[in-house]
Amino acid sequence: MSASTQSRQVNSVAEIFKSLDYGPAPEADNVAKAWLDDHGKSFGHFIDGKWVKPEGRKTYETKNPATGEVLATTIQGVKEDVDMAVKSARRAYESWNKTPPHVRARHLYSVARHIQKHMRLVSVIETMDNGKPIRETRDADIPIVVRHFYHHAGWAQLMDTEMKEWKSLGVIGAIVPWNFPLMLLTWKICPALAMGNTVVLKPATYTRLSALLLAEICAEAGLPPGVFNVVTGSGEMGSCLASHPDVDKVAFTGSTQVGQTLRQLTAGTGKKLSLELGGKSPVVVFETADLDSTVEGLVDAIWFNQGQVCSAGSRLIVQESVHDKLVAKLKERLTHFRLGDSLDKTIDMGALVDESQRKTIEEYVEGARREGAQVYQAEIGIPSRGCYYPPTIITNVHTVSKVVVEEIFGPVLVVLPFRTAKEAITLANNTIYGLASSVWTENVSLALEVGLNIKAGTVWVNCHNIFDAAAGFGGYKQSGYGRDGGKEGLYEYVRPKWEERHRPNVVDFDVNKFGATLPQRPTIDNVDVAEIPDDRIKIPRIDRTYKIYYGGAQKRPDAPYARQVINPDGKVVGHVGEGNRKDIRNAETTLYGATVKINEPVGVIGIACTDSYPLLGFVSLFAPAVVRGNTVVIIPSEKYPLVALDLYQVFDTSDLPGGVVNIITGDRDHLTKYLAEHQDVQSMWYFGSAEGSKFVEYISAENLKRTWVNYGMDREWENPEQGQGEEFLYHSVQVKNIWIPMGDIFAN
């Protein structure tokens, strides 16, 4: 009694007039509750345009992490459910793929309009299911969702002109995480549908409701049945979807670990794969930055969505001269930071998605504390129920600290000082990840230089975590490959028109034994005697054992073995060096520093060439790679390498910088093994056997290098449609988007 009297007093106008405190400002949840009630708080899959609830499935209760309240019951799908969904998508594909682009555009447009119509419902459901603040779903997530549909309606309309060399893939299996449940699935289905594919989606376990709601909205908007299907289930069911033989592409956003599993699972199957994975993105702040604005930028970078953002700016790399000042400003900022119920419109941060996530974050922070790091958490109110973790700043940590190295996926910022721009770049790149980054300075020249040198798919200048459907988003290094958004994102959902999906039937083999080889012996009995016609004197020909070529020079192989080169008549026409893993190592380290181009090359590309076109195949592959600024370690045709080796003289005389093209002759699969396994080779192109293709894709999971393989099918290299063009460009570049907001003029 007395408590309530007291609280009335505290909340009187007179008291608030004195204190000027904030009060609760809850967003009403009535529309969301009504929608849940409409479904009896129980959901099945959404397949072929209708709700499907098979008998006997296990269930999963989805909760509001801000309150712990159970929102609804969903089901745990099994293989038959996936089969049903894929079958439905395959059936729908036959007509959807043939639907005129303009009509597909109208469908996407219609979905956008319908989402806008249900904006409030969608925002509230997303907030209740995930725990993120209503301000973010209302002002960020859902507007971006809508924008993606409108944007891709445009691409659907333009497919015949803008993507005329390309065609759809078929059925897309999309697997998305819980941090932006609706936004990230939209990033998959919009380009997929625009390019004429159909989709089976598996939402994350914690957050299934908005995906199911979207499926219902799509049906309302008139999207044909089967074009977009949602099946709910465990991670195991996700694997089941990814390995379904009739799924033509897997589009995934989530953890690096699961991304690696998916790469291994789909290796050698001819399925396309795009992965948008983890990050430990740097926020690089120079003394020439607007520090007050940087503080707000850091709020956007690390405390947006409770830090559960793959592109979260979790490493603050700040110039030593302003380190203390910026940290003080940040700490001050946190004293009036507000944590609270996700539906409250007056909060900065809401609830974490699940208790397990909170524990993980806590362990990281306590670990740092034990290591002697300084942990700052402002004394701000934390709701007594629900799953919350305060915004945290960790200083006095170094590059060896776990909290600096690993992705925490929570509201935890680590701070590292730097002395010079060069050191800042090195620190920024000192990570296995490469998803995003931001650079803070008013010096344009510096911003661009640093931005171009950071190995990340997105660089924001003087801002962080800004997204748009027109700008592709995706990673370098172990943050994955493929882009979501922009024209660059469309390529993930198409294949060249001439190409059919290869479905190689590779029997399981031991990947560890792949490429093992015994060196060949050079000829000893093939005495090659040449006759000089004038004198009719037989004199011995000088030995023609070629060297290998790397670092801008001809080198003898590390192990002094040679392999025979035999012409089609079976005659030995020469010998080449037998390269091994040490040659690969040497080639790579010498040339890495030569990669100074700034037009977004992939980096070091390993290329294994076909035997069918020893010269054209070689040139067709190394040339597009090199002109886009990559360096290559190339294995020429195993059988006919001489014509490629003759090119090293051309390289030398044409002033190609040393290390740009490196030619290692030898056993293709043996050398491929070491190139594909090499942690500092960023992409592997393999034109050999189906088995080798599977090996390359499988082993690439380790450092998530990009791959381009032929699944054992050769192409017509002399046919311009197949032997050159956009496909080669696509594989030669990775898109980095640098965001440079501009403006200084505001008045007179």
Partner 1 sequence: MRIDTVGPSNYLPFEMAARNPGVDFDATWLENVYVNLPAVQRRADTLGTRRTVKKQWQAAWLLRAVACIDLTTLSGDDTESNVSRLCFKAKNPVREDLLKAMKMEDAGITVGAVCVYPSRVADAVRALKAANGSHIPVASVATGFPSGQYPLETRLEEIRYAVKQGATEIDIVINRQMALTGNWKGVYDEVRLMKDACGDAHLKTILATGELGSLTNVYKASMTCMMAGADFIKTSTGKEGVNATFMVALVMVRAIREYFHKTDYKVGFKPAGGIRAAKDACTWLSLMKEELGDEWTKPELFRLGASALLVDIERQLFHFVYGRYAAVHEIPMS
Residue 480: partners with Cβ closer than 8 Å, 6 or more residues away? 256, 259, 274, 275, 276, 277, 435, 474, 704
Choice from 7, 30, 95, 293 touching partner 1 (CB under 8 A): 293
Give min distance, CB of 25 to partner 1, in A.
Answer: 5
Query: CA-CA distances (angstroms) from residue 279 to 116, 439, 468?
Result: 31, 16, 19
Q: Considering only residues 463, 572, 623, 627, which one is a binding residue for partner 1 as defined by CB under 8 A? A: 463
Asked if 323 interacts with partner 1 (CB under 8 A), we say no
Residue 5 binds partner 1, judged by CB under 8 A? no
- Measured from the CB atom, the residue of 14 and 524 that comes closer to partner 1 is 14
The residue among 307 and 712 lying less far from partner 1, judged by its C-beta, is 307
Three-state secondary structure of 33-71: HHHHHHCCCECCEEECCEEECCCCCCEEEEECCCCCCEE
**What letter would DSSP give residue 491?**
G
State the nearest-atom distance from the C-beta of 2 to partner 1, in Å. 20
Residue 231 in contact with partner 1, rule: CB under 8 A? no
User: Distance (Å, rounded) from C-alpha 188 to C-alpha 186?
Assistant: 5
Least separation in angstroms between residue 129's CB and partner 1 is 21
Selected from 1, 4, 5, 20, the binder of partner 1 by CB under 8 A is 20
Query: Does 746 contact partner 1 by CB under 8 A?
Result: yes
Select from 505, 512, 653, 748 the one that contacts partner 1 (CB under 8 A): 748
Contact residue for partner 1 among 294, 395, 689, 693 (CB under 8 A) = 294
Nearer to partner 1, 80 or 292 (CB): 292
CB closer to partner 1 out of 135 and 358: 135
The answer to whether residue 22 forms part of the interface with partner 1 (CB under 8 A) is: yes
Site membership for partner 1, residue 462 (CB under 8 A) = yes
Position 744 contacts partner 1 (CB under 8 A): yes
Query: Nearest approach, Cβ of 124 to partner 1 (angstroms)?
Result: 16
Q: Give the H/E segment covering residue 707.
A: strand 706-709
Q: State which of residues 2, 3, 5, 23 lies at the interface with partner 1 (CB under 8 A).
A: 23
Is 17 a binding residue for partner 1 by CB under 8 A? The answer is yes
Burial state string for 68-105 with b = 16 or more CB within 10 A and e = fewer than 16: eeebbebbebbeebbebbbbbbbebbeebbebebeebb
Per CB under 8 A, the segment of 6-14, 62-70, 527-535, 573-581 that binds partner 1 is 6-14
* Least distance in angstroms from the C-beta of 660 to partner 1: 38
Strand partners, 416: 317
Angle formed at CA 75 by CA 69 and CA 78, multiple of 5 degrees? 150
- Position 702 contacts partner 1 (CB under 8 A): no
Q: What distance in Å separates the CA atoms of residue 266 and residue 244, rounded to the nearest whole number?
A: 9
9 binds partner 1, rule: CB under 8 A: no
Catalytic residue among 136, 276, 578, 638: 276
320 near partner 1, rule: CB under 8 A: no
* Per-residue tokens: 242: 């990814």
CB atoms within 10 A of CB 18: 9
For partner 1, which residue of 77, 181, 297, 641 counts as binding (CB under 8 A)? 297
Q: Is 11 in the site for partner 1 (CB under 8 A)?
A: yes
The least distance separating partner 1 from the CB of residue 24, rounded to whole angstroms, comes to 7
Pick 334 or 435: Cβ nearer partner 1? 334
Segment contacting partner 1 by CB under 8 A, of 42-50, 89-97, 207-215, 289-297: 289-297
SS3 assignment for 284-314 = EECCCCCHHHHHHHHHHHHCHHHHCCCCCEE
Distances (CA, A) of 52 to 56, 230, 518: 13, 10, 57
Q: Does 381 bind partner 1 (CB under 8 A)?
A: no
Determine, following the binding rule CB under 8 A, whether residue 745 of this chain makes contact with partner 1. Answer: yes
Check if the beta carbon of residue 81 is closer than 8 Å to that of residue 56: no
Residue 16 binds partner 1 (CB under 8 A): yes
Asked if 726 is an active-site residue, the reply is: no
Kindly tell me the burial class for residue 175, based on how many C-beta atoms sit within 10 Å of its own C-beta (0-12, 13-18, 19 or more).
Answer: buried
468 binds partner 1 (CB under 8 A): no
| Calpha distance 24→511 (Å, rounded) | 59
CB 432 within 8 A of CB 679: no
Whichever of 17 and 542 has its CB closer to partner 1, that residue is 17
Stretch touching partner 1 by CB under 8 A, among 50-58, 281-289, 497-505, 729-737: 281-289
Q: Between 690-699 and 668-677, two packed helices, what is the crossing angle to 10 degrees?
A: 20
Strands 59-63 vs 737-739: parallel, antiparallel or unpaired: unpaired
Measured from the CB of residue 21, what is the shortest distance to partner 1 in angstroms? 7
Q: Which stretch binds partner 1 (CB under 8 A): 23-31, 665-673, 679-687, 697-705?
A: 23-31
Among 86, 156, 291, 326, binds partner 1 (CB under 8 A): 291
* One-letter amino acid for residue 569 of the chain: D
Count residues contacting partner 1 (CB under 8 A)? 44
Give the x/- contact pattern for partner 1 in 98-137, rule: CB under 8 A. -------------------------------------x--
* CB-nearer residue toward partner 1: 18 or 513: 18
CB of 466: closest distance to partner 1 in angstroms? Answer: 9
Sequence-distant (≥ 6) Cβ neighbours of residue 507 within 8 angstroms: none
Cβ atoms of 652 and 627 within 8 Å: the answer is: no
CB of 415 vs partner 1, minimal distance in Å? 20
CB of 329 to partner 1, least distance (A): 9
650 CB-near residues (< 8 Å, 6+ apart): none
Least spacing, CB of residue 296 vs partner 1, in Å: 4
The residue (of 24 and 68) whose beta carbon lies closer to partner 1 is: 24
Strands 374-376 and 313-319: unpaired
Return the residue of 346, 377, 523, 545 that touches partner 1, per CB under 8 A. 346
Interaction mask 25-64, partner 1, x per CB under 8 A: x---------------------------------------
In sequence order, what DSSP letters do the residues of 519-540 get, joined into one string?
A: PPPPPSS---EEEETTTTEEEE
- Under the criterion CB under 8 A, does residue 13 sit at the interface with partner 1? yes
**Residues 194 and 153: beta-carbon distance below 8 Å:** yes
Q: Which residue number, 73 or 346, has a Cβ lying nearer to partner 1?
A: 346
Span 136-175, contacts to partner 1 by CB under 8 A: 139
- What is the pairing mode between strands 436-440 and 281-285? parallel
- Minimum CB–partner distance for residue 460 and partner 1 (Å): 10
In the complex, minimum distance from the CB of residue 306 to partner 1, in angstroms, rounded to a whole number: 15
- Residue from 265, 334, 309, 24 nearest 144 by CA: 309
Question: Does residue 508 touch partner 1 according to CB under 8 A?
Answer: no
Give the integer Cα–Cα distance in Å for 208 and 39. Answer: 14
Helix axes 101-117, 142-162, angle to 10 degrees: 170
Q: How far apart are CA 451 and CA 284, in angstroms?
A: 10
Instruction: Map tokens 């100074």 to a residue.
Output: 596
Site for partner 1 in 422-461 (CB under 8 A): 441-442
**Interface ranges with partner 1 (CB under 8 A):** 11-25, 135, 139, 287-294, 296-297, 300, 336, 345-346, 348, 441-442, 462-463, 741-748
Residues labelled catalytic: 276
